[in-house]
Copies of this chain bind each other. A is one copy, B any other.
Amino acid sequence: MPQKIVKLSVQDVRFPTSLEQHGSDAMHTDPDYSVAYVVIETDGGTKGYGLTFTVGRGTEVVVCAVKALSGLLVGRTLEEIVADFRGFYRLLTSDSQMRWIGPEKGVIHLATAAVLNAVWDLWARVEGKPLWKLLVDMSPEQVVSCIDFRYITDALTEQEALDLLRKAKTGKAEREQQMLKEGYPAYTTSCAWLGYSDQQLTQLCTDALANGWSRFKVKVGADIEDDKRRCRLIRQMIGPDKIMMMDANQRWDVGEAVPWMTCLSPFRPLWIEEPTSPDDILGHCHNRVMFKQFLQASALQFVQIDSCRLGSVNENLAVLLMAHKFQVPVCPHAGGVGLCELVQHLILFDYISVSADLNNRMCEYVDHLHEHFTSPVVIRDAHYLPPKDPGYSCEMLQSSVETHRYPDGEVWLRLSADGPRPQ
């Protein structure tokens, strides 16, 4: 029986994280971690759940964009979508009128990710598999049929992608077993948000060390003296052998980034993340065309994919394959709301079916808001354990959605009754 998608609903769900400075960095000083949360439903009553991550104000704009896209989805069957997933991806990203307000960037691309994430979740549920396993069990031809190669054929052709996937078949079963047993290595960003006091930072770092963490990311970029003090503190606590990364969240001009990082180099960061504009060298690449150029220019040493800023699984597959071709390790972004839940599937697929390599690779982890999901991530000894429930792990608890819906959920009604919040 074909599953016809008959309904799409989308909600603006926000968590008031700015009250305690969780997630604060040099550019996002007061984030309220939020999602545009999508639920699709088939005529058979099966549901698929998807989301994209935002940081508060503006989520309503993404919600509006999801509604604008919904007409392209509702009325189609899951079977016809996945039979030509490349075509469906292009339908969403290249609608002859809507592409003007992107294309494949900003609000409309975030909305595309939320919608497609829900479709992938639905597909995995119908197949009764967690998403990573659905991907791992696909033939190279099936994987490649999900990718839109428009604008990247000068870096990676369909044939090359097939060859890479076929070559990686060797040892696949063993790698899957290894992942089920050991999990995928993670690093933590939970200890050193910019708005945390030194005392908070010390406490969190102590706890993390006790829990087996050995890789830590620190937010930097607002004040050089602060940065030096915080980085020194962390390096002293973790010792010389553990790994430290830094993240400036787009704060600097090119001319500022170099001397600033020279000052911080004694603390031996493995990488500096987003030193400048996301449209410049390095940075938060928003689509496969940006990643392609950075790879071609050897302008990045770590590829940080994002499950919600790229166009869902489809576009992430393209980037994973390009990264493998250019032999650059992938270390996914995560955190926020649901990003850990989503991206673990992609990095498991990458290891098992594409890169077959764990050198210099790790997946970001942030210990926030997992309690709102029906299948939250499981971390053991600083590793992500492969999810077992069918789907893409981003179904939220109905009660969490209702309480945090903006602006009429209980949490927000109570906060607004307390008076206006500082901007």
Question: Contact residues of A with B, CB < 8 Å?
Answer: 27-32, 54-62, 64-65, 68, 94-110, 149-154, 250, 253-255, 276-280, 286-287, 289-290, 292-293
A277 touching B289 in the complex, CB below 8 Å, given contacts A64-B60, A106-B107, A107-B101 = yes
Q: How far is the CB of A220 from chain B (nearest CB, A)?
A: 17
Residues on the B chain within 8 Å of A59, using CB: 101
Partner among B29, B64, B290 whose Cβ is within 8 Å of the Cβ of A279? B290
Q: Are B61 and A104 in contact (CB under 8 A)?
A: no
Copy number in the complex reads 2
When C-beta atoms are compared, the residue in chain B nearest to A32 turns out to be B97
Partner among B105, B151, B276, B277 whose Cβ is within 8 Å of the Cβ of A253? B151
With A65-B107, A152-B253, A279-B287 already in contact, 14 other A-B pairs whose C-beta atoms are closer than 8 Å? A27-B99, A28-B100, A58-B68, A58-B95, A58-B101, A58-B108, A59-B101, A64-B64, A105-B106, A105-B286, A154-B253, A154-B255, A279-B293, A280-B293
Task: Label chain A's interface by main secondary structure.
Answer: loop
When C-beta atoms are compared, the residue in chain B nearest to A111 turns out to be B61
Q: How far is the CB of A422 from chain B (nearest CB, A)?
A: 11
Residues on the B chain within 8 Å of A97, using CB: 28, 30-32, 54-58
Partner among B54, B104, B253 whose Cβ is within 8 Å of the Cβ of A100? B54
Q: How far is the CB of A92 from chain B (nearest CB, A)?
A: 12
Partner among B107, B277, B292 whose Cβ is within 8 Å of the Cβ of A61? B107
A419 to B290, CA, bound (A): 41
A29 to B61, CA, bound (A): 26
Q: Are A289 and B279 in contact (CB under 8 A)?
A: yes
Q: Are B61 and A101 in contact (CB under 8 A)?
A: yes
Q: Are B98 and A58 in contact (CB under 8 A)?
A: yes
Partner among B57, B95, B292 whose Cβ is within 8 Å of the Cβ of A57? B95
Q: How far is the CB of A12 from chain B (nearest CB, A)?
A: 11
Residues on the B chain within 8 Å of A95, using CB: 57-58
A134 to B29, CA, bound (A): 36
Q: Are A289 and B293 in contact (CB under 8 A)?
A: no
Residues on the B chain within 8 Å of A107, using CB: 61, 65, 101-102, 106-108
A57 to B60, CA, bound (A): 17
Residues on the B chain within 8 Å of A99, using CB: 27-28
Looking at A94, A99, A101, which has the most chain B CB atoms within 10 Å of its CB? A101
Q: How far is the CB of A94 from chain B (nearest CB, A)?
A: 7
Looking at A55, A57, A103, A293, which has the most chain B CB atoms within 10 Å of its CB? A57
23 examples of A-B residue contacts, CB within 8 angstroms = A27-B96, A27-B99, A28-B97, A31-B100, A54-B100, A57-B95, A57-B98, A58-B68, A58-B95, A59-B101, A61-B61, A61-B101, A61-B108, A62-B101, A64-B64, A103-B278, A106-B106, A106-B107, A151-B253, A151-B279, A151-B280, A277-B289, A280-B292
Q: Are A279 and B65 in contact (CB under 8 A)?
A: no
A41 to B252, CA, bound (A): 36
A102 touching B106 in the complex, CB below 8 Å, given contacts A255-B153, A280-B151 = yes
A61 to B98, CA, bound (A): 10
Looking at A27, A61, A108, A280, which has the most chain B CB atoms within 10 Å of its CB? A61
A61 touching B57 in the complex, CB below 8 Å, given contacts A28-B97, A105-B279 = no
Q: How far is the CB of A69 from chain B (nearest CB, A)?
A: 9
A110 touching B101 in the complex, CB below 8 Å, given contacts A27-B94, A279-B289 = yes
A68 to B108, CA, bound (A): 16
Residues on the B chain within 8 Å of A65, using CB: 58, 61, 107
A101 to B105, CA, bound (A): 9
Q: How far is the CB of A247 from chain B (nearest CB, A)?
A: 15
In the A-B complex, the 6 residue pairs with the smallest Cβ-Cβ separation, listed nearest first, are: A106-B106, A107-B107, A56-B97, A151-B277, A154-B254, A64-B64
When C-beta atoms are compared, the residue in chain B nearest to A101 turns out to be B58
Residues on the B chain within 8 Å of A101, using CB: 54, 58-59, 61-62, 106-107, 110
